[in-house]
Each structure stands twice: as C-alpha cells, then as structure tokens.
Amino acid sequence: MELTVNIKEVEWWFWVITLFFILCALLGWTPGYYIVMALSGAQILYFTQREGGVKAFPTQVRIAYFIVTLLGLWAAVRFPLYIFLFIGTLMVAFTGRCVLALALKKMPWNRKLVPGASC
C-alpha cells in the first residue's frame, strides 16, 4: 500500500478534516461526533452537486459513510463505531483505499461501474 497525500484536492481535505474531528471526539470532545456527522452531510451535498446526483458512485460512498456516522447518535455504540470510522477514514485519506467503496461496488445497481471506481 502506497502513501498518498493529495493536498490540492477538495476531497482529500474533506477526509482529513473529518479525521481530525473523529480524533477529537475519540479523545473526549463530544461535539466532535456531531461535527463529523455535519461534515459527512456536507460531503453528500457537495458530491451530489459535483457528480450530478445521488446515483453517482462517489456520492453513494458519502451517503453510506453519513449513515454510519449517524449510528453515533446511539451513545452505547458511539465510541467503538468511531474507532472503526477513524481507521477507515485514515485509510481513505492516506492510501486511497475505502472499505465502503469496496462493499458498494458489489451492490447490484453498481455492476456497470468501471473497475477503477473508488472514493
């Protein structure tokens, strides 16, 4: 796996800023959870506009990520869930690999995706 840092891309900054607030939340700053949810919602709006709708693969990834962040509203699973989000977001931000993208590629409505489609 190769380290990738794309500071010129807005997408990369979305992930890095989200990663920062996940870390803040895990370190005990509770508003961090809600900021992560808000940033995830903002990504949906940004990618829906940029990609031309919610059916676009990058938008689907953001919608799935947003749904996972919303599970953090349930206090009992918030901390362990956000540990997994931290690991996944770290992977996306610095390697370009995305577990959600891999899972979404397997969905029936995405069968016609080009092989290189990712986050």
Instruction: Give me the number of domains the chain comprises.
Output: 1
Q: To 10 degrees, what angle do helices 31-51 and 57-70 make?
A: 160
> Rg of the chain over CA atoms, in angstroms?
14
Q: Side chain identity at 81, as an amino acid letter? A: L
Q: Which residues form the domain of 106? A: 10-110
Q: Is there a domain that residue 5 lies in?
A: no
Q: Is there a domain that residue 115 lies in?
A: no
Q: What is the pLDDT of residues 59-70, one digit of tens each?
A: 999 999 999 999
Q: What is the DSSP code (8-state) at residue 112? A: T
Q: pLDDT tens digits, the chain, 119 residues: what are they?
A: 677 888 889 999 999 999 999 999 999 999 999 999 999 999 999 999 999 998 999 999 999 999 999 999 999 999 999 999 999 999 999 998 888 888 888 888 888 876 665 66
Q: What is the pLDDT of residues 36-50, one digit of tens each?
A: 999 999 999 999 999
Q: Is there a domain that residue 3 lies in?
A: no
Q: Is there a domain that residue 4 lies in?
A: no
